[in-house]
Structure 1
């Protein structure tokens, strides 16, 4: 795979003192996890895991077609395991025919896993697995990277990625939401909701799940809060209207039907949950719902990007109810503490895969002019911009590849389907520091921490 490297992520991390080390424990390192066998050795590369500001895989589209199941493999194998000098994040990149798993620091391909049909990819919340949607449900993809506690530090390991035969069954699998220590899966075809402790997912067995259900099937979403309560959307297959919250005993404690077309969710500071509506944004905070009304009669924000340390939420902003494909040139910034919003004009349009959050909560938008813009979420001021890819046009078919933005820590990853490239942007320096040519046309993009 070809690289155009100005510097490397590893050298950037070294310069900021973010390397982790296995502190004096290589001789008596804990054995690998059961089911992962093989020699243990320390590679020369050092890795550090950065937190993800949140990418809950929200999009504008209600139909999730998964006509073919990926090619599954037995998880009870003897993959060789290597101890690394620190957590080794990995990227997942879908394409027409499978999923690539890449080292997030070197961009080297660790595995090419065949799979058929249109593929959706979400981190499972445990730092090791992705969940890949197919015709059967949510299938576990072991990215082959994890860490285990050992005294006052961790030991980190890698092995070959594997697409398993472990599936959370679901009729029309939809949104995956990770928050705190839990992962929640929503089945659009039935309204069934499965919740499990994220760290209980293993490469050889599915965890026990708690079963809930929406009143009616719809393209919905659910979030488990830290007090054990669950927020879930309200609606039918024809119309979505709002959300309710059940406490840990299943009793309803809050409800709002003031969110027409509810779609998309994210979490802001103070565990405020934001939901996108066709006339603004609905917030759940301090035990009650609060509506942030848009100025326009129709203003759809179906894709939201939050940061759990920031009170501000970034959202798309579409104002044409009749458009088959609206290419918006405005975004909305919601102040969840004040319950207010402001609309920001941009010089270029963007797509539903163009929104993300950066270090310290910066609002990031990848425009169709190829420029990645960083906005101050409190003021809407564009504070930095960098040309990452060539100008592009959003395809009409939402399943077709388009430049996609994903962030992890101080780095932004941007795919370019036209050139089959993956770019790395150092958000601290506002510079493209690495570019790799991929062997496939990339579509969706996600990551796990290791």
Structure 2
């Protein structure tokens, strides 16, 4: 991608998608599904929303690099102006040993480096600097581990605790770094989400941790081993969508039930979907709907408060989750009122209007897509 390009004013926001492939990242116009850019990179590529409606953070061997998707909107008095340009990899890089989870919440983005346990917090609107520099606030966990951290609007930092051998719990620190709450009751901690009211959830092998109003509580699984790892939250809902696995010894369990945890009441509801799914199958809609993409190729729309499957939309062909987590498999991401679903076996991208539950577009991509992230433009 070029280092600089002309900028044009658009009639309104121009949502775009980033899709990784074996040799780089494609950028796709979310309205037309046309490829508008392709950045070459090396190594296994992971994509993380940056939170500013314009950039995606590309995980590299030694940190993260900002990819400008080339579409953004700026406030101007009582109205806004939207712009587009050619997508490009920027000079903005954030160093980190074994870069891991990137979590966006509110106006802050928090990055976790597994190799050191270092956390870096940045303002989401700080990625557009010409010189590539970005100001970060640094924190460090007591020990390096595959971890995760979330920064809340009041500056509270919630992060995982563990070692390279095991993850066991979490701690909450106030803006001055003083400990607010701590728990060691989360074996195998993995994954996070934020629900309405700035409530943080963290997955455990026996349920879910909930951080709310300055303290941790535990929602216990109904089975002795009931692992919740991958989660999807929504600022429109107090319920968090999660996976649910019960076979501790499985090489790769293919569950058909998902979990819905009400962070207000502590209730955990299991919903049978009728098809297995993968860690890239869980997403939330614009009104807080719980979305699950099944291996039968259908996108299920679930009422998070009742667990009722309201709609089941056929979007791709049947598929089977591969054993290696890095291998491509269908995934779903929401931008605005549309869900976008990939079908790697056919290099296909499908758009679904969530207001009508109808497929509104599809395209064959020039590369096999793997991970996906989107921006509102």
Alignment of 1:388-427 (within 5 A): 388-427=315-354
Q: 1:87 aligns with which of 13, 25, 46?
A: 13
Alignment of 1:335-374 (within 5 A): 335-374=262-301
Give the Cα separation in 1 of the matches to 2:317 and 2:50: 32
> Is contact 1:74–1:164 with CA below 8 Å preserved after alignment?
no
User: How far apart are residue 416 of structure 1 and its match?
Assistant: 0.3
- Normalising by the residue count of structure 1, what TM-score does the alignment of the two structures yield? 0.82
Give the match for residue 187 of structure 2.
Answer: 260
Give the Cα separation in 2 of the matches to 1:110 and 1:124: 20
Alignment pair present for 1:170 and 2:64: no
Deviations 1:123-166 (A, max 9, x none): 11111111000112011111111122222111111111111232
Alignment pair present for 1:151 and 2:77: yes
Give the match for residue 113 of structure 2.
Answer: 187
User: How far apart are residue 409 of structure 1 and its match?
Assistant: 2.4
User: Which stretches in structure 1 are left out of the alignment for 5+ residues?
Assistant: 1-72
Deviations 1:34-69 (A, max 9, x none): xxxxxxxxxxxxxxxxxxxxxxxxxxxxxxxxxxxx
Give the match for residue 10 of structure 1.
Answer: none
Q: 1:125 aligns with which of 51, 62, 69?
A: 51
Give the Cα separation in 1 of the matches to 2:359 and 2:138: 44
Give the Cα separation in 2 of the matches to 1:243 and 1:264: 12
Give the Cα separation in 2 of the matches to 1:91 and 1:426: 16
Give the match for residue 137 of structure 1.
Answer: 63
Alignment of 1:13-412 (within 5 A): 75=3, 77=4, 79-204=5-130, 205-412=132-339
User: How far apart are residue 108 of structure 1 and its match?
Assistant: 1.2
**Secondary structure of 1:423's match?**
strand
> Is contact 1:187–1:193 with CA below 8 Å preserved after alignment?
yes
User: How far apart are residue 286 of structure 1 and its match?
Assistant: 0.7
Bigger relative contact order, structure 1 or 2, given CA contacts below 8 A and separation 6+? 1
User: How far apart are residue 203 of structure 1 and its match?
Assistant: 4.8
User: How far apart are residue 341 of structure 1 and its match?
Assistant: 0.5
**Secondary structure of 1:361's match?**
coil
Q: 1:428 aligns with which of 332, 355, 359?
A: 355
Give the match for residue 44 of structure 1.
Answer: none
Give the Cα separation in 2 of the matches to 1:446 and 1:197: 19
Q: Alpha carbon RMSD of aligned pairs, Å? A: 1.1
User: How far apart are residue 235 of structure 1 and its match?
Assistant: 0.4
Give the Cα separation in 2 of the matches to 1:150 and 1:238: 51
Alignment pair present for 1:443 and 2:370: yes
Give the Cα separation in 2 of the matches to 1:437 and 1:402: 16
Aligned length: 376
User: How far apart are residue 381 of structure 1 and its match?
Assistant: 1.1
Deviations 1:272-309 (A, max 9, x none): 10111000000000110010001111111110011112
Give the Cα separation in 2 of the matches to 1:347 and 1:399: 25
Choose 1 or 2 for highest CA Rg: 1
User: How far apart are residue 74 of structure 1 and its match?
Assistant: 8.0
Deviations 1:53-91 (A, max 9, x none): xxxxxxxxxxxxxxxxxxxx785x4x1111101111110
Structure-2 change in CA distance of 1:74 and 1:81 (3 Å) = closer
User: How far apart are residue 331 of structure 1 and its match?
Assistant: 0.5
> Is contact 2:243–2:258 with CA below 8 Å preserved after alignment?
yes
**Secondary structure of 1:418's match?**
helix
**Secondary structure of 1:244's match?**
strand
> Is contact 2:225–2:248 with CA below 8 Å preserved after alignment?
yes
**Secondary structure of 1:414's match?**
strand
> Is contact 1:74–1:165 with CA below 8 Å preserved after alignment?
no
Give the Cα separation in 1 of the matches to 2:216 and 2:352: 37
